[in-house]
Structure 1
């Protein structure tokens, strides 16, 4: 790619480092040896591996014919679909670097991202037509012929994908790539300026694919995909399934009841879900009527899965749960085997093979087991850096006394005597009230234990006396009419004096990202903006 990444990767040594199996080469075998096996299942039907590979190769060949050079960025703005998966694989097969973009981002941010990664092509679904129209004038260097509709009709976007492909050849010509070549750029979430572009190379992805295959994400997997493809959460399970020739069942948009219908119908074996999805699926009134006996492993990431939710899922939902904690940047990597460690469900597990996690204090010094500080880690998968942001890349690094480089997570946590890692809060979300550190997760656990509380978030709001003070925002469970003051009195009776909530407010729902994270910055904004006036 044309972007110079001003921070070189740091890797823990592993024996299989030099093995190279590019996904563009690997998947060609699936068309030959399991051509009739389902590769993709969606509301539009079943796509076999032979059909998928023909589409993938046509996309790859057309991209190169249209001017794609090795390492060039190809961006996509779309909901999940079979065409999107084909485009992703086609870009990699052509030697390009895939840049999946979020439809939740603003038009201004999307324009900045596309300039930042120097996208040479942009594929947009019809659903995102209005977004494209809003930022199209800012893409002076991207000609119309390189903006393609990811679908059959352009409808103001440009030429449709099928028309753009024409009758081009579908013969396999996968690009020769190295472990150091760019694989994808994932943009971090952000509401101001340009989100940081996280560059993964083939080494990062290959190591991750091999590690996740140990959870059974292989050629026999039937993986139900319900989180968006622009999220690393999704790619963690999607890429190994495709690499080994399994089957993806694709949801364009998550719906708990529809998830259960698809899981039963297609005998799904695996799924990557975020915590709020577990809660919604388990809360479906028809949950116990569905046959979910085909499940082998369910994965969870993006935020810690509460112990009570794990208990409910382990009791009612066949198959194990493997909770995965990590950063899109890499470095931090832990996993919790819920079946093997029922006494550790409040943790995010142990460091994975080749990973190391430590805790540091405000002064950057390492803290002993049991003490709370910022989690830092190094692992076999670590990003190349933030593109065009060498200073922000350097700010993320922490060097141990032994001279090893770790990534700072921004998460506050601790490690117990047995090595299990516990997350307490995002560092930026920690509440400092009267000089005491208050971790929202401790207060949220108490609120969620109240029978009237269905969902909860705790944020710090301005306080003249304490600097800031904790406010509880709750969603009341259906059928309950307890007041805010009643719930506040109950919760503060369970909390320590320094932790007590100043007040509680009822909400209809809590704002969440598309991968289920509560948007605390959005919740805090009105209170701090008012205080600044």
Structure 2
């Protein structure tokens, strides 16, 4: 069921650390004209990626980005965004990819918390930021970079690159910051998840995905998501081609599968649903596929079975979180009798089930899932108390990550998810925190009480529903309240509906009984 931490550490100590700039330089030397990335009909070779990364690194250094310094990236997937990403890494900097779906207020909060010295944004993102450009100019004086637009106060991409000279000489170490990813949130206070060079190097160089120079990985999720970054970095480490979509659509995805003879992909469950239901699916040649992966939310057993039946190549479900540590994999094509599980602990993972008092439970018993691996975050950025609260420590003091999920391991060591310890809603592969939506809804003067729960959705897997008690004597149209809330949250956090109740069930201690609220919808 688990692997001993000390044995894993001993094996990891034998593996050399190789930084990503060195990996890119090696590919550029060995296969200079081979495509490294493709997007929107354009390609970027390894030699061009290496050259542009050097130019971005020099431009970062000219703006004062020293090793460990932060560069924020607010952009949809694209070739220039990729150059900005790897160029920041080449400078020794830490990339801060931000959610393009977040509100301007939330973005300002993340930018301030991250300590970023430079902001690189594209035209779509600028539309969100237009109302706060005065604040941005104060935060980033002469350090706002436009990927694909021209505007006062913003430095054009080519002009920015022209500012740099020779790329800086950087000595890369495993303990240097690599990227800072912010957890989903609607209150403007998401937590920054810090990953180091050593972790990303170990993660990308795993050999369990069958990636190599002939591989083609198709990704259609945002750059601010680990769902995108982990497979993108693994493909780059192994010299394969990464095909990016700026925005997912089923027809376009299927066309790219044929055009690039795609071998690998990472999708969230709702994307699999849309692809299988699309009229072009049956006539698309998908015979090149080696391995499809799914993450972001549990994949329904019936959908797993349908994918296995209709889509060539293996199917791997990945259960985990951006913080790392608690990861299971189910190779559904190898274990068709285990489709109701999320698989066994991934290689080099030590996972346990613990009770409310932190005691390790026996196999088959139900409790919270905790885990340790060499692929864990360094911590929540500038939040040591939140980091410590996230830990469960074993008898020797080793810090495991708490998943917040409830489950059990079956007799064969496969993990069965039963419930969420926290009221996390996973919609379309994105995490939505019910407490955040409740805080926004409760701020309306006509609202007396509110509970947000996840209800089934054919389109998104699940979607947030607000159950609201109005103040006595108040009358408010439910759709008007929904629009009011959704106007204050990011696109991926919006309420699907509002329903009114006379009262909400609570325990004798005043605890909201959400299980009772959810039960009628999930029968």
TM bucket, shorter chain:
0.7 to 0.9
Q: Deviations over 1:300-325 (max 9, x none)?
A: 11111111111111111111011111
Out of 190, 196, 214, which is 2:191 matched to? 196
Q: How far apart in 2 are the matches of 1:248 and 1:52?
A: 12
Aligned: 1:69 with 2:63: no
| Contact 2:72–2:95 under 8 Å retained in 1 | yes
Out of 175, 190, 193, which is 1:180 matched to? 175
Q: Is the partner of 1:340 in helix, strand or coil?
A: coil
| Contact 2:36–2:241 under 8 Å retained in 1 | yes
Q: Deviations over 1:115-140 (max 9, x none)?
A: 11100000010111122223333346
Shift of the 316–414 alpha-carbon distance from structure 1 to 2, 3 Å rule, reads same
Out of 316, 319, 323, which is 1:325 matched to? 319
Q: Deviations over 1:386-429 (max 9, x none)?
A: 01111111111111235332110111111112111122232123
Deviation at 1:16, TM superposition (A): 3.2
Out of 107, 125, 129, which is 1:128 matched to? 125
Shift of the 221–157 alpha-carbon distance from structure 1 to 2, 3 Å rule, reads farther
Q: Is the partner of 1:219 in helix, strand or coil?
A: coil
Out of 240, 259, 269, which is 1:275 matched to? 269
Deviation at 1:364, TM superposition (A): 2.3
Aligned: 1:162 with 2:161: no
Q: How far apart in 2 are the matches of 1:26 and 1:473?
A: 44
Q: How far apart in 1 are the matches of 2:503 and 2:204?
A: 47
Q: How far apart in 2 are the matches of 1:94 and 1:81?
A: 20
Out of 197, 200, 204, which is 1:205 matched to? 200
Aligned pairs (5 A) from 1:125-524: 125-139=122-136, 142-151=139-148, 153-156=149-152, 158-166=154-162, 175-211=170-206, 213-429=207-423, 473=456, 522=495
- Residue correspondences, number: 453
| Contact 1:332–1:355 under 8 Å retained in 2 | yes
Deviation at 1:268, TM superposition (A): 0.5
Aligned pairs (5 A) from 1:13-162: 13-17=9-13, 19-139=16-136, 142-151=139-148, 153-156=149-152, 158-162=154-158
Partner in structure 1 of residue 471 of structure 2: none
TM-score of the superposition, structure 1-length normalised? 0.78
Shift of the 140–14 alpha-carbon distance from structure 1 to 2, 3 Å rule, reads farther
- Structure 2, unpaired ranges of 5+: 1-5, 439-449, 461-484, 506-523
Q: How far apart in 1 are the matches of 2:152 and 2:264?
A: 38
Shift of the 363–284 alpha-carbon distance from structure 1 to 2, 3 Å rule, reads same
TM-score of the superposition, structure 2-length normalised? 0.80
Q: How far apart in 1 are the matches of 2:100 and 2:282?
A: 34
RMSD: 3.2
Partner in structure 2 of residue 500 of structure 1: none
| Contact 2:209–2:291 under 8 Å retained in 1 | yes
Q: How far apart in 1 are the matches of 2:66 and 2:360?
A: 45
